[in-house]
A and B are shown apart, each in its own frame.
Chain A
């Protein structure tokens, strides 16, 4: 066999037909009898049929295998389209309409041909829909619907344009669809209620109301075994009863469908729109649904979560499988929640199902939530029908618990209203269908809205930059301190070390582009203070963008960001060792270079005021520590500061700060940091800090050295020391708790230290400048002197004269 490529629609259609013909259920061979009947229904001249059979190889094989059957069908379509029957034409003919097997209406076929091509897809999908869809609603009052349908069928359709698909056998999964439909065989095929399939059709952009009707009718066929219907298909004229419609429906469907499509899609649409849409929700029903919705979700614009909906619909005692299918149909946007529209659709489907209608394969047009207002008036009209369900089932009080009984009560009412449904014309689905697909696009479900990520500034914020500028300009200490103060307050709020550290510290660091990172360092160093600072610094940014890369600070001999980084890394390591509690601390890997504050190193002995002077003095006292500062400076500074601050402010406070900090902060990074720092500062005598950490009530200066030394021992000891600290902090916590300003004071310490650092740097700069100037002056003076001497030499001879 030649390779045969089938479109989806064709595939479905063919498989359905094959199933139909496969009465022996061999799934391989189509009964010749059936096949012949089918071909006869194709209304092709017998010689053409013979030719087809020959081409497809059936005559060769003697039976119709699946492939042969498919090829034959394709050839039928080819023939019906008027193309010459060739083997090549199977694949060469593009957009071949599905073969039509119609009992009559040849003239329509041609028209249908065109429409078929376009509808082929619909058909295909429709065939998949086989299960009697909308027909359900129509089933109720078949006669009524039929009548209306008939009127709708408009032009020529006389045959119910049920999808050609081999309905009965095709959807094995939906046997229940064939459940008894009360559909009454409509008078004529044309009467086939279009409404039923209408909704389905519409989604397919099919303007074939007729076919829809056919479908509806088709589904209306209740129990008659499909086979029977199929058998009669060749015989039953379109006007046959509905029961026999199935077979006829096949033909009719095609013809009707084609007719509908062929003739005037628009007309049909319009007519269909006037048709009774079995799936349309009446006002009463709508109101009832809305009330039920309210019981679950008072906000009509809100959503019903899946679990609540599950509970609710489970009460309807429908099998879970069907409920699952109903959910699939009604949850339009697949968000796991039901909007009001979706809920109404689901409820409607449940009601319909309860009344015996089969579930459609696709959501009926009328039940689709209108996301985009695109339909024409007809559709709108239909849609609006759902509004204002007056006199809703009074017996169905909207309450979940009694919902079941109430629902049951409503069932009969629903049944009554089914009439209304049937009278509704089929929606002008075609127009809608085309547009409806658009509505499928991204339902505007606010709940399902994608959560926009909160933009996080990755670059220093303006404020931050300003702060940094301030600092750079070496304004007064206040500048840094102010941000610091701000920061500390923020810090106390959160411990966004990473972000904040990066930014906040910028404030403290003079002109450190990397102040961000720098701030992180000092924060770490300054324990919570630093951290707080950084946080506060970043508070304006909150989300603190990553700090800019550290800028080289050649002018700053001491507190270079690099140093700070180094220091922080050290601290972090130590911190880690000490069982850091905060990941954030670790996150400051680059760490602020240790602030070379040798002045602070000797802190213990010096009661350093929280100011630059103090720092300077400290530095002077411990010049030897300067070189070591890179790694220790921070620690010593802060600790000393803490100590000094403590001294200045409150002895206990200062000490408590470090302790409190750990206590305050979930993690005890500060203390641990301090501890770590102390370790790193082994060489330094940052005793001041140590004592602060230790929280010894004694003068901060005195104890610091000791703890520092202790810490020098090993990092392991840090832990116990940390524990000590924590213990002490615990003891002091109570006291500290009463000191709300503790964090601030700690922050102030940091700030003070940083301020002092800044001041020192400024002083350095000034001195350097002065030095250079003096040097220059010296040079000038020397030159002058030389010149004068020369002059003197020159003049000497004269003098002698």
Chain B
């Protein structure tokens, strides 16, 4: 049910970004980019604690009038950012968490591929299909 899904590398460049409404993609790109600041802020906030104690799921990063942005960060500082439609009120936190979990699993599968060089853009079809399944159902 996401409108846009992005995978950001540790150095804050995108490894994968995809939005459903193919038009106006730039807007989503910008939203994701701005959300990175919030992600960093959240990471540093609990930076005092050990990394283990840090939750991977960051939760709602910031809401706009149309969209809500959720964040998730892995232990290797790879960030997943998801933009969902605000009108999708049915989306519960657990669902977002499960979506991030799926993302994370798919991401690790991509990583396991020896032909994938960390830092490259993610071009895995399996990953694509998984993201597609998560994207908002057009209607």
Interface residues of A (CB under 8 A from B): 1, 3-6, 8, 11, 15, 27, 66-67, 70, 128, 173-174, 306-307, 309-310, 313, 320-321, 323-325, 327-328, 331, 334-336, 361
B123 interface residue (CB < 8 Å to A): yes
Q: Which residues of A contact B109 (CB under 8 A)?
A: 328, 334
Q: Report how far A1 CA is from B137 CA in the complex, Å.
A: 14
With A328-B109, A334-B109: A310-B137 Cβ-Cβ less than 8 Å: no
* B123, A324: Cβ atoms closer than 8 Å: yes
- A325 (CB) vs chain B CBs: closest residue: B125
Q: Which residues of B contact A336 (CB under 8 A)?
A: 112, 114
**A364 CB, nearest partner CB in chain B, Å:** 15
* B112, A324: Cβ atoms closer than 8 Å: no
* A323, B115: Cβ atoms closer than 8 Å: yes
**A400 CB, nearest partner CB in chain B, Å:** 15
Query: Which residues between 69 and 109 of chain B lie within 8 Å of chain A, taking CB atoms?
Result: 109
Q: List 29 A-B contacts (CB under 8 A).
A: A3-B139, A4-B139, A5-B137, A6-B137, A8-B133, A11-B137, A27-B22, A66-B138, A67-B138, A67-B139, A70-B138, A70-B139, A173-B125, A306-B112, A309-B114, A310-B114, A313-B115, A320-B115, A323-B115, A324-B113, A324-B116, A325-B124, A325-B125, A327-B113, A327-B115, A328-B125, A328-B126, A331-B113, A335-B112
**A64 CB, nearest partner CB in chain B, Å:** 13
For the complex of A and B, 4 pairs with smallest distance between CB atoms: A306-B114, A324-B115, A310-B114, A336-B112
Q: Report how far A81 CA is from B89 CA in the complex, Å.
A: 33
- B115 (CB) vs chain A CBs: closest residue: A324
Q: Report how far A321 CA is from B123 CA in the complex, Å.
A: 7
B128 interface residue (CB < 8 Å to A): yes
* B139, A334: Cβ atoms closer than 8 Å: no
Q: Which residues of A contact B22 (CB under 8 A)?
A: 27
Interface flags for B127-139 (1: CB within 8 Å of A; 0: not) read 0110001000111
Q: Report how far A304 CA is from B127 CA in the complex, Å.
A: 24
**B114 CB, nearest partner CB in chain A, Å:** 3
Q: Report how far A5 CA is from B124 CA in the complex, Å.
A: 27
Q: Which residues of A contact B128 (CB under 8 A)?
A: 173
- B108 (CB) vs chain A CBs: closest residue: A334
With A306-B112, A307-B114: A324-B124 Cβ-Cβ less than 8 Å: yes
Q: Which residues of A contact B112 (CB under 8 A)?
A: 306, 331, 334-336
Q: Which residues of A contact B113 (CB under 8 A)?
A: 306, 324, 327-328, 331
Q: Report how far A307 CA is from B115 CA in the complex, Å.
A: 8
Q: Report how far A777 CA is from B114 CA in the complex, Å.
A: 88
Q: Which residues of B contact A6 (CB under 8 A)?
A: 137, 139
Q: Report how far A321 CA is from B110 CA in the complex, Å.
A: 12
* B124, A328: Cβ atoms closer than 8 Å: yes
- B112 (CB) vs chain A CBs: closest residue: A336
Q: Which residues of A contact B129 (CB under 8 A)?
A: 128, 361
**B54 CB, nearest partner CB in chain A, Å:** 24
Q: Report how far A361 CA is from B113 CA in the complex, Å.
A: 16
* Contact residues on B (Cβ < 8 Å of other chain), bracket: 10 to 19
If over half of A's interface residues share one DSSP class (helix, strand or loop), that class is named, otherwise mixed; here it is helix
Q: Report how far A307 CA is from B113 CA in the complex, Å.
A: 9
Q: Report how far A66 CA is from B133 CA in the complex, Å.
A: 18
- A66 (CB) vs chain B CBs: closest residue: B138
Q: Which residues of B contact A321 (CB under 8 A)?
A: 123
Interface flags for B45-71 (1: CB within 8 Å of A; 0: not) read 000000000000000000000000000
Having A5-B137, A310-B114, A334-B112, one finds 14 other A-B pairs with CB under 8 Å, namely: A4-B139, A5-B139, A8-B133, A27-B22, A66-B138, A67-B139, A70-B139, A128-B129, A174-B125, A310-B115, A323-B115, A325-B125, A328-B124, A336-B112
- B111 (CB) vs chain A CBs: closest residue: A336
Q: Report how far A3 CA is from B90 CA in the complex, Å.
A: 14
- B21 (CB) vs chain A CBs: closest residue: A27
Q: Report how far A334 CA is from B133 CA in the complex, Å.
A: 20
Q: Which residues of A contact B124 (CB under 8 A)?
A: 324-325, 328
Q: Report how far A174 CA is from B123 CA in the complex, Å.
A: 11
- A11 (CB) vs chain B CBs: closest residue: B137
- A171 (CB) vs chain B CBs: closest residue: B125
Q: Which residues of B contact A313 (CB under 8 A)?
A: 115
Q: Report how far A329 CA is from B91 CA in the complex, Å.
A: 32
Interface centre among A306, A307, A309, A324 (most CB of B within 10 A): A324
Q: Report how far A361 CA is from B124 CA in the complex, Å.
A: 11
Q: Which residues of A contact B138 (CB under 8 A)?
A: 11, 15, 66-67, 70
- A324 (CB) vs chain B CBs: closest residue: B115
**B57 CB, nearest partner CB in chain A, Å:** 23
Q: Report how far A1 CA is from B116 CA in the complex, Å.
A: 43
Q: Report how far A321 CA is from B120 CA in the complex, Å.
A: 11
**A297 CB, nearest partner CB in chain B, Å:** 15
**A306 CB, nearest partner CB in chain B, Å:** 3
Q: Report how far A760 CA is from B129 CA in the complex, Å.
A: 77
Q: Report how far A432 CA is from B23 CA in the complex, Å.
A: 42
- A336 (CB) vs chain B CBs: closest residue: B112
Q: Which residues of A contact B114 (CB under 8 A)?
A: 306-307, 309-310, 327, 336
Q: Report how far A323 CA is from B133 CA in the complex, Å.
A: 24
Interface centre among B115, B126, B128, B133 (most CB of A within 10 A): B115
Q: Which residues of B contact A66 (CB under 8 A)?
A: 138
**B92 CB, nearest partner CB in chain A, Å:** 17
Q: Report how far A325 CA is from B22 CA in the complex, Å.
A: 25
Q: Report how far A4 CA is from B137 CA in the complex, Å.
A: 9
Interface flags for B15-41 (1: CB within 8 Å of A; 0: not) read 000000011000000000000000000
Q: Report how far A6 CA is from B113 CA in the complex, Å.
A: 32
**A34 CB, nearest partner CB in chain B, Å:** 18
Q: Which residues of B contact A5 (CB under 8 A)?
A: 137, 139
Q: Report how far A307 CA is from B128 CA in the complex, Å.
A: 24
Q: Report how far A66 CA is from B20 CA in the complex, Å.
A: 13
**B93 CB, nearest partner CB in chain A, Å:** 22
Q: Which residues of B contact A323 (CB under 8 A)?
A: 115
**B48 CB, nearest partner CB in chain A, Å:** 23
Q: Report how far A313 CA is from B138 CA in the complex, Å.
A: 39
Q: Report how far A328 CA is from B126 CA in the complex, Å.
A: 8
Within the complex, which residue of B125, B133, B137 is in contact with A361, where a contact is CB–CB below 8 Å? B125
Q: Report how far A323 CA is from B125 CA in the complex, Å.
A: 12
- A8 (CB) vs chain B CBs: closest residue: B133
**A317 CB, nearest partner CB in chain B, Å:** 13
**B40 CB, nearest partner CB in chain A, Å:** 30
Q: Report how far A173 CA is from B16 CA in the complex, Å.
A: 14
**A359 CB, nearest partner CB in chain B, Å:** 9
Q: Which residues of A contact B125 (CB under 8 A)?
A: 173-174, 325, 328, 361
**A177 CB, nearest partner CB in chain B, Å:** 11
Q: Report how far A174 CA is from B114 CA in the complex, Å.
A: 21
Q: Which residues of A contact B139 (CB under 8 A)?
A: 1, 3-6, 67, 70
Q: Which residues of B contact A307 (CB under 8 A)?
A: 114
**B73 CB, nearest partner CB in chain A, Å:** 22
Q: Report how far A3 CA is from B123 CA in the complex, Å.
A: 33
Q: Report how far A52 CA is from B26 CA in the complex, Å.
A: 36
**A529 CB, nearest partner CB in chain B, Å:** 36
Q: Report how far A374 CA is from B83 CA in the complex, Å.
A: 43
**A84 CB, nearest partner CB in chain B, Å:** 22
**B3 CB, nearest partner CB in chain A, Å:** 15
Q: Which residues of B contact A306 (CB under 8 A)?
A: 112-114
